[in-house]
Amino acid sequence: MARIIAVVNQKGGVGKTTTSVNIAASLSATKRKTLLVDLDPQGNATSGSGVDKENVELSIYDLLVETQGIRSCILPDVAAGYDLIPSNSDLTGAEVALLDIPDREYLLEKALRSIEADYSYIFIDCPPSLNMLTINALVSADSLLIPAQCEYYALEGLSSLMSTIETIKVSLNPSLKIDGLLRTMFDPRNNLALEVSKQLTDHFGDLVYRTVIPRNIKLAEAPSHGLPALLYDRSSSGAAAYLALAGEMLRKESN
């Protein structure tokens, strides 16, 4: 059965999509069957996976709003090496459309549970806000991967997210847990980054992954080529970091 992991942070620009694409690719490279669900109307995980988001026949919008079967929305074995449920700007209208649908918080969960036997991992790339799409992801997920940039407001944003997680646990998904916090865009030459990194480990302890994702030009360039860093430049420090994260997650799971 798949582990369903939502990649989430209400703060934008922390590396959610970069992490979603690259961890999905890295686990696929270890022969784990992986599905990436793009739940962001911007569709960046879709284009970053080598798919033209404006020319997909069916998307996550069709799954959630048009009650299309999930298997027909999956693009198998895209260039990035995993299966993908794509997204595009159509999803912008989902928030209003979902208001009239019964049990709207559980739409994604019901769909994903019907295919979880097909995969080892299912990752959900969440939008940078707490809306009905993000709630669907949190209700669906077994656990959360939380990217956090080591900058001044990191802890403030995380405290708000933790409050949201507790609310979801109480009302909608009592088994939800945090898989780990991932330090992203890390520059060890920056004293503030070092200080915030220490604050994160002091505050969250073992919940912080040992793997740290560096600031890396190849990670930044890869999406414009529709590839994860692993396929764009396997020798880059960014690709190596996400492979290390995949290894850490697999070891954590086996313990």
**pLDDT score at 130:** 86
> At residue 12, does pLDDT exceed 90?
no
Set out the domains of the chain in order of their start, with CATH numbers.
Answer: 3-254 (3.40.50.300)
Residue 129 has pLDDT above 90, yes or no: no
- Let me know: does 90 contact 66? Beta carbons within 8 Å: no
Percent residues over pLDDT 70 in the chain? 100
Q: How confident is the model at residue 11 (pLDDT cuts 50, 70, 90)?
A: confident
pLDDT in tens, 181-221: 999 999 888 888 898 899 899 989 999 999 999 999 999 99
CA dihedral 180, 183, 185, 187 (to 10 degrees): -160
Tokens encoding 161: 């997210």
Please report the pLDDT score of residue 253 as a whole number.
85
Q: What residues contact residue 190 under an 8 Å CB cut-off, 6+ apart?
A: 150
pLDDT, position 190: 85
CA distance 24 to 208: 19
Mean predicted confidence (pLDDT) in 166-176:
95
pLDDT 10s digits, 77-128: 999 999 999 999 999 988 889 888 899 999 999 999 999 999 999 999 999 9
CA angle centred on 203, ends 202 and 205, rounded to 5°? 65
101 with 107: CB under 8 angstroms?
yes
Which of 249, 195, 240, 191 is closest to 214 using CA atoms? 240
CA dihedral 39, 43, 45, 51 (to 10 degrees): 120
Residue count (the chain): 255
List the 34-38 sheet strands across, edge first: 83-85, 34-38, 121-125, 3-7, 143-149, 177-186, 208-214
Give whole-number Cα distances, 104 to 65, 115, 135, 168, in Å. 9, 19, 9, 14
Beta strands 177-186; 208-214: pairing state:
parallel
C-beta of residue 78 within 8 angstroms of C-beta of residue 34: no
On average, the pLDDT of the chain sits at 94
Q: What is the pLDDT of residues 14-29, one digit of tens each?
A: 999 999 999 999 999 9
Quick one: how many helices (H) and strands (E) in the chain? 12, 7
Tokens of 33: 């069957």
Per-residue pLDDT at 151 exceeds 90:
no
